[in-house]
Amino acid sequence: MPTRTRRPARTRRPRRSGALTVIRSAARWLLAGMLVFAGLSHLFWARKGFRIAVPDWVASEPADKDAVVIASGAAEIMLGAAAVALPRERQRVGLAIAAFFVAVFPGNVHHWRTGRSVPLMRTDRARFLRLFLQPVLVAWALWSTAPDGARR
């Protein structure tokens, strides 16, 4: 009778605790906090200001624009929470956050082109500079949610 060889038990990779891992984790937590704060501001104290940023081609009626602001605020809160609460899914969450930042970019372009003020963006210069922040946010989302040891 042939002898069976046992496969070695799968072992978990040891967790890296290097400086880059700590920085990446801190960046993820900071991003998560910013998303939750922004989401809460969409729902509560700055809702009217964010309605102004919704382009007419997305929603033409004020009630529809309010629904877009509420939905985007809820999405920001959920994405921020998921970034720290779902460590096994953090790469997927990072992709979702990056996709969200890309999806809201037309709103940023709209309020820059129309000169409409939104919270913290009261000047043309601030609105213009905000456009260049969006790719940084996308990169931040992808880098901070990359697996440990990744060099993106």
Q: How far apart are CA 127 and CA 109, in angstroms?
A: 8
Contact 16, 149 (CB under 8 A): yes
Q: What per-residue confidence (pLDDT) applies to 111? A: 82
pLDDT digits (tens, 9 = 90+) for 37-54: 999 999 999 888 888 888
Q: How far apart are CA 100 and CA 105, in angstroms?
A: 9
The rounded mean pLDDT for the chain is 88
Contact 101, 141 (CB under 8 A): yes
Contact 57, 79 (CB under 8 A): no
Spans of all domains in the chain: 19-144
pTM of the full structure: 0.82
User: For residue 118, what is the DSSP state?
Assistant: B
* pLDDT of 8 strictly over 80: no
